[in-house]
Amino acid sequence: MQIIAHRGASGEYPENTLLAIEQAIVQGADAIEIDVFAVQGELLVIHDHHLERTTNGTGSIYQYSLAGLMQLDAGQGQRIPTLWQVLELTHGKCWLNIELKGNNTVAPLLALLDKAEQQLGFDCQQLLISSFNHHLLAVIKLKRPDLKLGALTASLPVDYAAFASQLQAYSVNCDVSFINQAMVDDAKARGLKVYVYTVDQPDDIRRLQEYGVDGIFCNYPARSRALTIKK
């Protein structure tokens, strides 16, 4: 079962920062999950579109200039990273799950991936692009059918994982509160990977490993790794 560091090693370091991502890599995470908004065409790594919870800014990211956003403190002296910085940092080290939070993310994402392939030799098979906004995923599938897509759900869908199959997704990314064995079995029968968020409790980690899920999003990657049963 793979350990996906949720917003980096965000239990111990400021979430969605280069420090949290570096530390997750040091802790041996298989993958890093980050959240991305587009601001004036630049992809920024931040979870909320309001700044108060994770930075010393106030109000919406959309009220700021790009230069103003880049000067904010995101904790422990960290700045809000760009997606480009995260691609450079994780390149060749672990796979990366980019969760699209805004509606205007697809065009800048695809342009940035083209640039990363050309300038960094970045392997886009190391990416999983996910979103709760399945329309965005459908658009990406049309434009870049090679990219792996993660269909996020915050509930137990009535059709189990059929919705993710229809999107031709690579994975279904489920809330730990709703996942059950039947959904895992249904997803696997459809050839989908199953990733579950956000999992830090030992009993949940053991239960999900019994279900046979493929990976868990954890705030404490080293601790979660230690709790997974080696098979």
* Closest approach of ligand G3P to the CB of residue 47, in Å: 6
Sign of the Cα pseudo-torsion (209, 134, 4, 78, in order): negative
> Phi/psi of residue 198, each to 5°?
-100, 130
Q: Which residue in 47, 49, 50, 134 is the catalytic one?
A: 47
Q: What is the contact surface with ligand G3P in residues (CB under 6 A)? A: 6, 33, 35, 47, 99, 130, 152, 173, 197-198, 217
Q: Rounded to whole angstroms, how far apart are CA atoms 60 and 157?
A: 31
Give the nearer residue to Ca ion in terms of CB position, either 7 or 79.
Answer: 7
DSSP 230: P
Give the nearer residue to ligand G3P in terms of CB position, either 130 or 224.
Answer: 130
Sign of the Cα pseudo-torsion (159, 162, 167, 169, in order): positive
When CB distances are held under 5 to 8 angstroms depending on the partner's kind, the choice from ligand G3P, Ca ion, none that residue 173 binds is: ligand G3P
Residue ranges in 98-137 that form contacts with Ca ion under rule CB under 5 A: 99
Binding mask of the shown chain, residues 33 to 52, with x at each position contacting Ca ion by CB under 5 A: --x-----------------
* Closest approach of ligand G3P to the CB of residue 9, in Å: 14
* Closest approach of ligand G3P to the CB of residue 188, in Å: 19
- Catalytic annotation on 47? yes
Lookup result for tokens 């895992």: 184
Give the nearer residue to ligand G3P in terms of CB position, either 106 or 128.
Answer: 128
Give the nearer residue to Ca ion in terms of CB position, either 99 or 186.
Answer: 99
Contact between 15 and Ca ion by CB under 5 A: the answer reads: no
Q: Rounded to whole angstroms, how far apart are CA atoms 33 and 9?
A: 10
The tokens for 100 are 């699209």
Q: Rounded to whole angstroms, how far apart are CA atoms 84 and 96?
A: 12
* Closest approach of Ca ion to the CB of residue 33, in Å: 6
Q: Rounded to whole angstroms, how far apart are CA atoms 24 and 47?
A: 17
Q: Do 126 and 95 meet the contact criterion of CB atoms below 8 Å apart?
A: yes
Give the nearer residue to ligand G3P in terms of CB position, either 60 or 65.
Answer: 60
E-assigned strand segments in 57-204: 95-100, 127-131, 148-153, 171-175, 193-197
The tokens for 74 are 């995101």
When CB distances are held under 5 to 8 angstroms depending on the partner's kind, the choice from Ca ion, ligand G3P, none that residue 130 binds is: ligand G3P
* Closest approach of Ca ion to the CB of residue 100, in Å: 10
Q: Which residues belong to the active site?
A: 6, 47
Residues forming contacts to Ca ion in the complex (CB under 5 A) are: 35, 99
